[in-house]
Amino acid sequence: MSASYLRLLPLLLCAGSSLVFAAEDQQNVTTDFYNLSLADLGKVQISIATGNSTPLDKAPATASVISAAEIDAMGARNLDEILETVPGLHVSLSSLSRLDSVYSIRGIHTGFNPQVLLMLNGVPVQFSLQGGRPTLFRLPVASIERVEVIRGPGSAIYGADAYSGVINVITKDAAAIEGTEVGARTGSFNSHDFWLQSATQWQGVGIAFNLAYQESEGDNNRRIDSDLQSLLDSKLNTQASLAPSALSTRYQLLDTHLALSTEQLQLNLWNWHSTDAGVGAGGAQALDPEGRDDSNLRMVDLTYHFGKWSDEWDNSVRLSYLYYDIQTLFKLLPAGTVLPIGSDGNLNFATPAGIVQFSDGLFGNPGSVSKDSQMDFTSLFTGWDSHRLRLAAGLRRQTLVARETKNFGPGVIDGSMPIVDGTLTDVSNTALVYLPDSSRNLRYLSLQDEWRIMANLELTAGLRYDDYSDFSGTTNPRLALVWTANEKFTTKVLYGSAFRAPSFAELYFRNNPVSLGNTDLKPEHVDTEELSFNYRATSNLQTTLTLFNYQSQNMIEFLSDAGSPTKTAQNARDQNGKGFEFEVNWKPFSRLHFSGSYSQQEAIDTKTNAAIPEAPGQQCKVNANWEFISHWYVSGQLDWVGDRHRAVGDNRPKINNYTLLNITLHRKNIFPDLDASIALRNATNVDAREPSSGTIPGDYPLESRSAWLELKYALK
């Protein structure tokens, strides 16, 4: 733990303790719906499908909810480990961005993964540079009350980037926390976690505080044998590569949340600070053990519900602001690398101005500050029998200011110097920086009607129009028909349209040795049809079958430039996909719960009929939780990933399938209010790998077997 965090923790502990001593009786503590019957589970309210509270089994979407109790049972440490249990969703690794997480849904799988919208309490959490989540985003689970996921489009409610799926993380407020809890976890790879949460009521205001700290040195067994520098060594007769060696996967982060709530107002304050995070396989797919990523994210959102002037209207306004500062220090290529350099100072094999040795390495240190301000007004009208109307309108502004230091590129070198050392040139606030100052404005208007045609038949119809300042407007509709034939059988027929706006990086990247932007890009667009059947065979057995089909146009990817090591953003392909997801929930006994899923998808490039690379064509997941003796629980997750394809022209061997097994043993109330857990992840220590780019021939190894010990104490 860094010295700065050590100085901070006593203050935070004191803050948490003050909440303990001021605590009053807590009300409305979150229901433990991990122990609900299957029938009751279907009645759990979910907000992500419509923007309003809707029973899960009637939600007009393919939806999943993971509760805090389920998260605790599975022994998950972060959001990625939660999401890997969702049917049809696979957490992969990016070959473009430092082993960033890729949430692969139904064959829509790209390096920066901006097609999945992540929200925190309904507010988008996005990095406008690349369009997806903040870089190397790891969210600890301690503050999470539940996670809601829809697979499929959501632009009719949420606008841009709700394309292949939407994830809403709902954090704990005062109603979800009883007393105070402290916990700690230690385990493999010299990893340590600590968390504290507490809540109280004061003058009618609910106050909740959550803190989580995590650190790890990373798994040194995640080794690769060759990288980009290995290829350069073979061509240029050098020996600069650091391979074989381990990927850089260390991390250190502090996550804090403060929530204030009354009947009419909800205020959330969030700070996520990641420091000295390893850069995976390196910024240029060359090992970089010294490289680091430092990020500081701050977000505030305020929701105010106006007093009802009638029973027919419920109006609210939400203001939100996100500030994200990131600084990355890359040694793109190691000390001693020899490169052909063009007159613009960048790598150039075709027409080099000279051969240059970088005695200390090739350095590039990009950073940026992005700001995202948003105002949303929502009005619900229930004055008509059998209808619930939702009208929403909003404004949003995104800005980004880039900064950069480096020892190559335009204005720094021109290929004439035979040796370049590690002296850095600051090109911030000049035309030589990797991205110009960027901004965009957005206005939107949406309308949705939930119409109960009959007691057992509901139609949801919605439409949203988005107007962007940097490209023309787009309109996205949705239709959903939910028919409850009887208490055992429900059918859903769904259609949705969605879009994704090009990110600032895809539009404006420049002076970059790896990726370049393209101002002629068009937004991505997708149309999706789904047919879902839910059958409750008995009170203890429930199955769901979802069939889907989609047509996606203008998918954006960074494609290799001929005769150059760079990649340029292009509307690379149209993509069609189809498949199914089959889910089973079974509770043979009150203390034993099984859930499982099998999903299959076939996504192809419409021009070549080739399979979309890297996305799993098949997945099988099994989860079990068993209280085998009073206060003793064992939980397990089995995850099989298969049928992944290489890109056209990539002649490497087939990507191997793998099966991961995770086991967690819990003992509740060892002493009053003290719980303990022991967890094994990748218990069988299989050599599981995610597909890499061709410059890392052997793919990216996942974590080897790890063991964890956790203690948790509640003060009530």
Asked whether residue 388 is assigned to any structural domain, the reply reads no
Asked whether residue 535 is assigned to any structural domain, the reply reads yes
Residues contacting 449, CB < 8 A, separation 6+: 387, 388, 389, 390, 459, 460, 461, 462
Mean pLDDT calculated for residue range 204-233: 96
Residue 19 has pLDDT above 50, yes or no: no
DSSP 8-state assignment for residue 561: P
678: confidence class by pLDDT, cuts 50, 70, 90: very high
SS3 96: coil
Angle at 493 between CA 490 and CA 496, to 5 degrees: 140
Residue 464 has pLDDT above 50, yes or no: yes
- Across all residues in the chain, what is the average pLDDT? 91
32: confidence class by pLDDT, cuts 50, 70, 90: low
Residue 34 has pLDDT above 60, yes or no: no
Q: What is the pLDDT of residue 563?
A: 67
Short-list 205, 184, 186, CA closest to 196: 184
| Residue matched to tokens 């396989």 | 281
Asked whether residue 362 is assigned to any structural domain, the reply reads yes
Asked whether residue 563 is assigned to any structural domain, the reply reads no
Say how far apart CA 471 and CA 670 lie, in whole Å. Answer: 60
639: confidence class by pLDDT, cuts 50, 70, 90: very high
Asked whether residue 392 is assigned to any structural domain, the reply reads no
Mean pLDDT calculated for residue range 125-142: 94
CA-atom Rg of the chain in angstroms: 25
- Any long-range contacts for 598-602 (C-beta under 8 Å, 24+ apart)? 599/87, 599/88, 601/88, 601/106, 601/107, 601/577, 602/107, 602/577, 602/578
From 345-349, 372-376, 580-584, 611-615, the region with the lowest mean pLDDT: 345-349
Mean pLDDT calculated for residue range 587-593: 91
Distances (CA, A) of 326 to 114, 123, 370, 402: 18, 20, 9, 10
Q: What is the pLDDT of residues 530-582, one digit of tens each?
A: 999 999 999 899 999 999 999 999 998 888 777 666 788 899 899 999 999 99
* Overall number of domains in the chain: 1
SS3 322: strand
Residues contacting 344, CB < 8 A, separation 6+: 409, 410, 414
- CA dihedral of residues 220, 223, 229, 234 (deg, nearest 10): 140
Task: Write out the two tokens for 460.
Answer: 């949801």
Residue 35 has pLDDT above 70, yes or no: no
Residue 396 has pLDDT above 70, yes or no: yes
Residue 3 has pLDDT above 80, yes or no: no
Q: What is the pLDDT of residue 30?
A: 41
Residue 18 has pLDDT above 60, yes or no: no
Q: Would you say 225 and 287 are in contact if contact means Cβ atoms under 8 Å apart?
A: no
Residue 43 has pLDDT above 90, yes or no: no
Residue 341 has pLDDT above 90, yes or no: yes
φ/ψ region of 441 (left if φ > 0, alpha if ψ in -120 to 50, else beta) reads beta
% pLDDT > 70, the chain? 94
Mean pLDDT calculated for residue range 575-594: 94
137: confidence class by pLDDT, cuts 50, 70, 90: very high
Mean pLDDT calculated for residue range 479-500: 96
Q: What is the pLDDT of residue 12?
A: 37
Q: What is the pLDDT of residue 658?
A: 98
Q: What is the pLDDT of residue 67?
A: 92
Short-list 561, 575, 466, CA closest to 528: 575
CATH classification at residue 503 = 2.40.170.20
Residue 21 has pLDDT above 60, yes or no: no
Q: What is the pLDDT of residue 54?
A: 87
Q: What is the pLDDT of residues 249-279, one digit of tens each?
A: 999 999 999 999 999 999 999 999 999 999 9
Q: Name the residue range of residue 683's domain.
A: 3-383+399-555+568-715
Distances (CA, A) of 660 to 84, 381, 702: 11, 48, 10
**31 or 177, higher pLDDT:** 177
Q: What is the pLDDT of residues 364-378, one digit of tens each?
A: 999 999 999 999 999
Mean pLDDT calculated for residue range 86-115: 92
Q: Would you say 224 and 696 are in contact if contact means Cβ atoms under 8 Å apart?
A: yes
| Residue matched to tokens 């994200």 | 324
Residues contacting 23, CB < 8 A, separation 6+: 179, 180, 198, 199, 200, 201
Distances (CA, A) of 237 to 226, 232, 241, 468, 695: 15, 8, 11, 50, 17
In angstroms, the first-to-last Cα distance of the chain is: 29
Residue 666 has pLDDT above 50, yes or no: yes
Mean pLDDT calculated for residue range 631-659: 95
% pLDDT > 90, the chain? 81
